[in-house]
Amino acid sequence: MSLPLPPVAEPYLLPFHYGALHTIGIDYPADPGACAEILGQAHPRLAVAEFDGKACVSVNYQLYFAQYPNGGGITQEIEINIVGYPRGERRRLPRLSYLDYARGVDQTKLLGIGRIHVLCDNPIAIDAGRKLFAEPKHPATFTTAVPSLNGPATDSWSVTCHQDGDELFGFTAVLEDLAHEPVLHTPITGYGTDGEGRLLAGPMNVHHPYRHYPLADGTADRVGFTIADDDSVVGKNLRTLVGGTPAAGVWTFQSMPVAAHHRPYYLP
């Protein structure tokens, strides 16, 4: 029996087109039992994916621009996700290592991100995320220092998330001189659970490969993670899911510029 498509709430349109996207994601191996408990509370119809006996927690920061008929909008957000799949679909999934998953080997796209928390600084994006994709999306602000062609040459990232004026958590990633490879990981299936308990699957395509940085014992210290507010729900979940576990991998994407305004010159 076919199902109806989820409604598209006015005034929004789908697909949503990104004018530019700058993002970094950090993947952490995690205890499957702890992940199952937290994922089950947010998305009862999702099961935790395992890679060599470990679950995967993904924390990703996004800075994106969108153009509209009446202007433009800039958004920053962080998703805290547990990689999972719909219950009952395990038989359709291949057996994968974490690197297989990171490289986009799974083409069923049943493996997706079960969103646990989404923190965002744009009220319109918060409203759209809730209504269109059933995202658990809430207001936050960010302090960042990220690679940019309009700044000093660097491949280091620093992101801090604040809520109600207080620091929640933050991370750093120093990626200079680290080996990386292009990976075709998208479409990324983002899972949401609406108020009636229905599971939604929303794919996101990035029309260019990501860079993936696999981390090992000698390079995992390039990524740092701090939890400033242990009493918040976000902080408690992050302490359970991430704690002091070394990261397994980092992936980045930065949109290429489409134009450049060059240095002026004097006329005689």
The mean per-residue pLDDT over the stretch 120-125 comes to: 96
The mean per-residue pLDDT over the stretch 221-249 comes to: 95
pLDDT at 2 over 90: no
Query: What is the structure's pLDDT at 3?
Result: 85
Residues of the chain with pLDDT > 70: what percent? 100
Q: Does domain 20-254 have CATH number 2.40.400?
A: yes
Q: Are strands 71-86 and 141-145 parallel, antiparallel or unpaired?
A: unpaired
Interval 146-164: pLDDT, tens: 999 999 999 999 999 999 9
Are 187 and 111 in contact by the 8 Å Cβ rule? The answer is no
Show me where the domains of the chain are located: 20-254
Query: What is the structure's pLDDT at 173?
Result: 97
Interval 100-111: pLDDT, tens: 999 999 999 999
How far is Cα 193 from Cα 114, in angstroms, rounded to an integer?
9
Confidence of residue 248 (pLDDT cuts 50, 70, 90): very high
The mean per-residue pLDDT over the stretch 160-174 comes to: 96
The mean per-residue pLDDT over the stretch 111-135 comes to: 97
Interval 183-225: pLDDT, tens: 998 999 999 999 999 999 999 999 999 999 999 888 999 999 9
Interval 42-60: pLDDT, tens: 999 999 999 999 999 999 9
pLDDT at 1 over 80: no
**How confident is the prediction for the chain on average, in pLDDT?**
95
3-state secondary structure the chain: CCCCCCCCCCCCCCCCCCCEEEEEEEEEEECHHHHHHHHHHHCCCEEECCECCEEEEEEEEEEEEEEECCEEEEEEEEEEEEEEEECCCHHHCCCCCHHHHHCCCCCCCCCEEEEEEEEECCHHHHHHHHHHHCCCEEECEEEEECCCCCCCCCCEEEEEEEECCEEEEEEEEECCCCCCEEECCCCEEEEEECCCCCEEEEEECCCCCEEEEECCCCCHHHEEEEECCCCCHHHHHHHHHCCCCCCCEEEEEECCCCCCCCCCCCCC
The mean per-residue pLDDT over the stretch 228-244 comes to: 94
Query: What is the structure's pLDDT at 218?
Result: 87
